[in-house]
Amino acid sequence: MLDPETHELLARVASMYYEQDMTQNEIADELGISRVKVYRLLRDSRSRGVVQISIDWPIKRDAALEQALAEAFGLDEALVLRTALDQPLPMLRQLGYLGARYLESLLKDISSLAICLGRSTFEVINAIRPDLQAHIRIVQAIGSMPYPREEYDSSMLARQLAQKLGGQVVYLNSPLMADTAHAAQVIRSQRNIQHALTMASSADIALLGIGNLDPQTSGFIREGFLTEDELAAFAVDGAVGDLAWRIFTQQGAIFPCDFNERVIGISLEDLRRIPTTVAVAAGSAKVPAMVGALRLGVINVLCTDDKTAGALLHFIQR
């Protein structure tokens, strides 16, 4: 049983995060504690029953657009959310529910799942129901980075999903980026890194998002891996987005650059070998990147919304 002082602290932090919509950084500043401490308090507030979340939003899908997308891009399956004007949830969160229900339907038939990083991956994992005991292996498929909101990082996401499913985690104990391509090669040659990457490439399912090269939202710029000028130069030369942090072109080819050689994580070649690779993405700004990503031949299940699906079909018919 919680003592009153601990209960009060957990309830206060949970209220600030869930009810007042404060970020973990804002809570840390307000209470004079570290962000890591805030994260642990939020985790404890849920595991110890101070916060209990139960949401079952109805999900409506557009079968016609799903069939059209699957045929246009050679997908095994397309999941298209039918949007509604009166839906109070943000779009990406709705897609998280759709993606989570899809993954839950597959859990009984798989033994391992590889995950990358990012907001869309977070939303899917966050929407996975906590009462499922699938006991599958969760593999961190890409190295870690210091996200402003650390719950979007691959190691945190792997841990969260394993806790929900009662499974074990295989961590990729590496930074996301090395300083040079040679340094990346040295890191990948280490036994524990090789083991994690082998586990990732042999997973039954991979879950990831699709990034574009918008300088306002780019993690490449935010984390100091690229400057705005470098990112702009990539775009001029034909780069449109990234998948598992590998930059690619609109034609579905890996973009030739030193940056791709410095990433520590599952390769696009290894992703192609995974039987089911699920990508979650939406938004008009991401359409060119999504087209390029789908042309890579890596993704075989796409989770998106009806407006983005229509835009994708229009884009390739121009």
34 and 125 within one domain = no
283 and 136 within one domain = yes
The angle that helices 191-201 and 181-188 make with each other, rounded to 10 degrees, is: 80
Q: State residue 256's pLDDT score.
A: 96
pLDDT, one tens digit per residue, over 52-65 is: 765 566 688 999 99
**Domain range for 20:** 4-47
Lowest-pLDDT range of 77-86, 116-125, 279-288? 77-86
Proportion of the chain above pLDDT 90, given as a percent: 73
Question: pLDDT grade, residue 132 (50/70/90)?
Answer: confident
Contacts of 261 (CB under 8 A, 6+ apart): 181, 184
What is the CATH classification number for the domain harbouring 177?
Answer: 3.40.50.1360
Q: State residue 176's pLDDT score.
A: 94
279 and 138 within one domain = yes
- Cα 120–Cα 125–Cα 126 angle in degrees, nearest 5: 95
68 and 31 within one domain = no
Proportion of the chain above pLDDT 70, given as a percent: 94
